Homo-oligomer: A and B are copies of this chain.
Amino acid sequence: MKPKRKRRDGLLRQAQIMEIALKLFAEKGYHGTSIDDIIASANIVKGTFYLHFESKYHLLDTIIDSNLSLMFESIKLLDISMPKPIEEIKQFYIDTARMLMQNEKLRLFVKVFFRDALSLEQKLADKVNYFFQQITSIISAYIAKAQQDGRVKPHLDALVLSYSIIGSVKEVLYHWAVLEENLDIDSTITTLLDTYLSGMLQNA
């Protein structure tokens, strides 16, 4: 039996494994996906997998790391203190959301994220929590500044508000990525923006 050696650049193979694993994790969950499943899908053998990733856990870790920055940038866009006309902001949100929601890999990642990121080792949960903590810091800093500028109602708790905003976005993402609902981006963003803006702003 001649072994077929499909040689290719190491990074390509690594990316290929990550993509296939992401698909499987999204479909059957992290625990429900075995290394055997992954290598069968990727058409490689055990050793090749462990050549590129030191463990199943590190594979997920790498996937999460490589996707988290994109999510980070995306969520940062929710800058409510942006000094622009509301209609312009709204359009910007809508355009960004449309762009992101066409990214199938992102959808899979969000799905895996919601399903498995918290149920694994503490280290991973810590990483995820740190990520959201950063987002929270940014948003609550925006709000606090807007409160000092007299634009946002002063009696609202900036931290709770940022939890609320983040929770709202998470929930919408969950319906999009996990439940695969067809959300109307326009009305979703309009509703969220209008509610939060007129709920938070001083003169609204």
Binding site for B on A (CB under 8 A): 29-31, 114-116, 118-120, 129, 153, 155-157, 160-161, 163-164, 166-172, 174-175, 178-179, 183-184, 187-188, 190-192, 194-200, 204
Tell me the number of copies of this protein.
Answer: 4
Contact of A179 among B29, B116, B129, B196 (CB under 8 A): B129
Task: Name the CB-closest residue of B to A129.
Answer: B179
Contact indicator B172/A157 (Cβ below 8 Å): no
Residue of B with least CB distance to A29: B119
Complex-state Cα separation, A160 to B181, whole angstroms = 12
- Give Cα A198 to B204, complex, Å: 9
Q: Which residues of B contact A196 (CB under 8 A)?
A: 195, 199
20 A-B contacts (beta carbon < 8 Å): A30-B119, A118-B178, A119-B119, A129-B179, A155-B190, A157-B190, A160-B187, A160-B188, A163-B171, A164-B168, A164-B191, A167-B170, A167-B172, A170-B170, A194-B199, A195-B196, A198-B198, A198-B199, A199-B199, A199-B200
